[in-house]
Amino acid sequence: MRLGPVSLLVALALALPTAGPASAAPGGAPRDPALVQAEAALTSPAASGTTPAPDATTALLELGRAYPRLSPAEQRAADRLLARPTDKANDPEDDGYTVDEETPLCGATVCVHYVATTSDAASPAYAQQALDLAEQVNDTYTAAGYDRPAGDGALGGEQDKVDLYLADVGSKRLYGYCTSDQPGGFSVRTRWAYCVVDNDMAARQFPQHSPLENLQVTLAHEYFHAVQFGYDYWEDLWVMEATATWAEEQVFDDVDDNRQYLRSGQVGRPELPLDHFGQSAQYGNWAFFQFLSERWSGTTGTMPTIVLDLWERLGARPGDPDASSVAGIRHVLADRGRGFRSVYGRFVGALRYPEQRFSEGDAADYRPARPVRSRTLSRERRTTPRWTRRVDHLASQTVRIRPDRSLRSHHFTLRLRLEQPRDAKPMARVLIHRRNGAVSSTIVRPRVTRPKARIPFNRSVKYVEVVMANTSSALDNRPFLVRGRLVHD
């Protein structure tokens, strides 16, 4: 789901909550947390402030996954939430519009459904604009090698066309969402999708960017979810959201709405695992796929091929590998002659000087996170403390050592002691940031306690950073030790 900042009254993603006392069913039985979350996502009224709404695409996807375990009463409630707007009109508990009221507008692949009256009303011009953009997005993805979304028969009125409904979801702090009303449990691994998008992108509800720009990136993001459902409806949620946010950059590069999430991902919070879902990290980690796209520049159509190759690996269609998210990434990197350990180490290192490693890295939202520890060394203070940092899986932490301005001589050297946990598949990089803007790096191997290169440490050096990465897929809280010592040769 494509989201905006809380301060602008739009939704941020939350992890599924546990069912509490307020989520009890009649008779006192706890209600399923997936149902509670989906209800919150689709019924939250517009508010004036800071309470975020759950992510509707993710909440409904989790509800669809949870459906087989729900009680009959909960399944009836889930059916209402998963229903298309044209199926909700006769239900007194839900908003919607009837098939007789709505006007379908169809292109080669997509049908846009809208009404001329009620709070859901959209103008014919806006509906045509939505159709044109949806067809453009579809054509971009299919030209890049992606499957078009799975067909739903004639549920929307025309055979196997993707149905896009315009409705006033902005009143619920949503730009839009995609979901599936296809029945089935885990055995139904691929599913069709339908999407709902706000009926006007009015500035009073979405003051950031123009209505056209908001519609563009919403369709790019949500339609990519529809494509993903056709590969594997049950794929890891973080990679679904991260690659959908990445897709915005590929189709409508000039809007740059996705930059607002960078501070929530490893750009701003490198201590959170790459596959973390929650706190909007899954949106911010589109930067990882942007890094891969720029490192391997091959394209299919107008889009980088590497993410297409990943979804071919993740796919659960007949004959597909059906890999998990991180395993799929490891495979596509191995196909390119690179190991995940090395590439992830380069990625977290690149986050320390993004202006040189990303094509748009000089943007303010790319600014590096603060180091977790910092110390200035001088003639009087020649050693750092023994910094022990515990790093979770697929995450990193950075310490920084600065030379005091009094170190004028070129005969000062920084020597490092670095101990790394072998079971964490560690990848440590020493980055030398010079005052002239140049940055050089040295890899510190786990079997070496000091880097082979002697690190000059005088006024020409702005600071030295040690980036400690845990590249394992599961091992958390692994200890890294760093200690620095100033030596005069």
Of 175, 155, 171, give the one whose Cα is nearest residue 163: 155
Residues 377-428 pLDDT 10s: 999 999 999 999 999 999 999 999 999 988 877 789 999 999 999 999 999 9
Report the pLDDT value the prediction gives residue 409, as an integer from 0 to 100. 73
Name the pLDDT band for 22 (thresholds 50, 70, 90): very low
The reported pLDDT for the residue numbered 453 is: 57
**For the segment 166-181, what is each residue's pLDDT rounded down to a tens digit?**
999 999 999 999 999 9
Query: Is the pLDDT score of 436 beyond 70?
Result: yes
| C-alpha count within 13 angstroms, C-beta hemisphere, residue 329 | 24
Distance CA 248, CA 401 (A): 38
User: Does residue 292 register a pLDDT over 80?
Assistant: yes
- pLDDT over 70, % of the chain: 89
Answer yes or no: is pLDDT of 23 > 70: no
Rounded to whole angstroms, the Cα distance separating 447 from 398 reads 20
CATH 3.20.20.10 fits 372-488, yes or no: no
For the chain, which residues make up each domain, given as ranges?
Answer: 255-369, 372-488
Residue 351, H or E segment? none
CA 44 to chain centre: 23
Q: How confident is the model at residue 95 (pLDDT cuts 50, 70, 90)?
A: low
How many Cα atoms are found within 13 Å in the side-chain-facing hemisphere of 318? 0
* pLDDT band at 196; cut points 50, 70, 90: very high
Q: Please state, in angstroms and rounded to a whole number, the distance separating the CA atoms of residues 355 and 367.
A: 8
Strands (E), 274-321: 299-300, 303-304
For the stretch 203-240, pLDDT in tens is: 999 999 999 999 999 999 999 999 999 999 999 999 99
**Residue labelled with tokens 């495979």:** 331
Q: Phi, psi at residue 375, to the nearest 5°?
A: -150, 140
Q: What is the mean pLDDT of residues 440-447?
A: 84
Identify the pLDDT of residue 53. 53
CA separation (Å) from 59 to 34, 55, 178, 437?
7, 6, 10, 45
Distance CA 88, CA 41 (A): 16
- Angstrom distance (rounded) from CA 365 to CA 375: 26
On the question of pLDDT at 448 being above 60, the answer is no
Check if the beta carbon of residue 292 is closer than 8 Å to that of residue 328: no
Q: What is the pTM of this model?
A: 0.92
| CA–CA gap between residue 301 and residue 482 (Å, rounded) | 46
Binning pLDDT at 50, 70 and 90, where does residue 24 land?
low
Compute the chain's Rg from CA coordinates. 25
Q: Which residues contact 238 (CB under 8 A, 6 or more apart)?
A: 274, 275, 276, 277, 281, 282, 285, 325
- The first and second tokens of residue 476, run together, are 């958390």
